[in-house]
Structure 1
Amino acid sequence: MAPALHISIPNASVATPAEGKPYTVYHIVLQLPLRKHEIRKRYTDFTTLHTELQSQTGSPPPAPLPAKSWIRKTVNNDSLTEDRRQALEKYVKAILEDNDPKWRSSSAWRAFLNLPSGTSTLHSNGSLSPTSRRRGSAGITDPNDWLEAHRDLKSHINAARQQLKSRDSAQSAQNQHALSADAKASLVRAAANIEQLDSGLRSLTSKQGNEAGWGKRLGDGEIRRRRDLVGAARKEVEGLEAVLRSAAPARSNQTSAPSASAAAAPEAKADLFRGASKPSGRVLGGPLKETERTRELDNSGVLQLQQQVMREQDEDVMSLGKTVSRLKDMGIMINEELELQNEMLGILDQDVERHQGKLDVAKKRIGKIS
């Protein structure tokens, strides 16, 4: 099952382009269980979305779009900006929480929020709704959509594999917990894609699918090939889930028990291909032996700890980015100084050549006198 999506517009700002007049942008925050993403849209983007939603669905969204003001401007009017921000937030939340999923299932809505094909949004009663009309209980029946979903599936599997590989080389238990949670989320998305792909193939070969003309788009050989792709992906996901359930080697225990970590590595690699039985008890997604920091935490506490670690990592990345920017500025200044020194050396070289010519003339004259 794909992760649920929550949306809000907490603030707005004024953008000043190099050419043109300043304008107001609204910060749209998309909140997932372990990640937060922000996009910025102008009021004209909302009006375009509103027009496309009506064109694609045949009916206006459940909440009205705030009217455009021809006299006042949001750039220099804070109260108008705040009123429009609240109205726009109510507008997008109404689309997200309405019982009818036709607006949030449209391509205009997904393109507006830059949503991937596997993202789901919430009904008003808390249940999940698919992002594509063709991805319902019958699965993905369109051949092109099926291939697109399969590419998404492979990307999720590759992401989980890389995250598990990074988990094994992590230097601390906190990083191992965070990478295990990311790998688990990727595997959950991959499993949801597998179910959609498998359901779509079953619909293509069913009696109702043949009567609807779905099965006529693909031959029997192509359907068998796609079934093999789904089966291979399912085995990969099961193997990666087995590796996820295995204990990641803790760096603090390597000196005291090197033989145990060395023995666990080949077993984890073997589990990737043969699978493993589901363990009993609570699974946090990290090492089986908990640390002092996570021992007293429940699942919610571990999730908060992971979010805190990710925020710290984001701050470190921002600090590193500032350092790199300063180094870049220093490199530009050094390059400019070197160019200036090269010009001065060129002038000096010309002066030396000029004086050398004068010395040669003086030597000839002295030779004639002597």
Structure 2
Amino acid sequence: MAPALHISVPTTSTATPQGGKPYTQYHVTLQLPLRKHEVRKRYTDFVTLNDGLVSQCGQAPPATIPGKSWIRRTVNNDALTEERRQALEKYLKTVVEADDGRWRSSSAWRSFLNLPSGTSTVNANGSLSATTHKQETGVTDPNQWLDVHRDLKTQIQSARTLLKQREAATTAQQQHALSAEAKGSLVRAATSIAQLEDGLKSIQTASKGDDAGWGGSKRLGDGEIRRRRDLLGAARMEVEGLEGLLRSMATKTSNASSNVQSGAVASSGDKAALWKGTSAAKPGGRVLGGPLKETERTRELDNGQVLQLQRQVMQEQDEDVLSLGKSVARMKDMGMMINEELIIQNEMLGMVEEDTERVQRKIDVAREKIKTIN
């Protein structure tokens, strides 16, 4: 299902045209999955929209716009401005949430929201239609594409962290909550990948001289497009690996729960007996190139998931090595500081020793003089 379209009129402002009277603008906001699309309309634009919907669809929308006041003005009346803002927001939401989608399919509606021409803006269930949603959410600006990709990496890292916490959780409630949060991050990551793929296709089309669609695009070279496609491929593999790891955790928890409830926990001897007398029996002694022993982390994983787990472990080891390198560098700096301090202390001790010798010589001379006097 396509993500729901949220439309609202959260704020207003006052605009003063050059040489004209000030008027109130209503900020109509469409909340998309990764960004907001905002248009500013005045009251007369809403009246024009309503007239266009009636003329094109042959029937008025299920809601009515507030009437025009000939005495009061919203520019100098905050209460009237807020009342009209709420009424106009209700009018737009009613059109969006209506079961009949003909008003949303009209050119008057798309022109009012500054949307591209195409199919219905919103389905009957209040969600974006597939064609229009693809045009609206495709990231066609190269700079914005990189920003969304950075958000994608953050979502993947968040999912990986949640899965680590889920593996260390001790209660079923904590495991369930962390699994739900990790699943949400993975779903958002998958959505971002789809949007980046659509945007990259539009950018590639624009680079060849075709029309890039709504939002515009800048040209990119073939090498940069291939690099970004490789980034998406790596991100997709990482997301699929984390999804497989999440499923294996859920299966493992489910099996553990059923075993505890039934009391049918297989022992290591029972597991070894399953291999006796079969062609797949484990050979005795040393086997060159033989598979490594299964662990609790890899038992429920397939080959792709084991590879993903190995990459994750290698990444963690790299991070540990970097942290260890920083600690060694700090210890080196501390050692150099201690060495400099020891050199200074040795110089001070040498000065004290010289002063001691000089005083001792003076004492010896004084003793000789005393002996002479006696």
TM-score (norm 2): 0.43
The structure showing larger relative contact order (alpha-carbon pairs under 8 Å, at least 6 residues apart) is: 1
- Greater Rg by CA: 2
TM-score (norm 1): 0.44
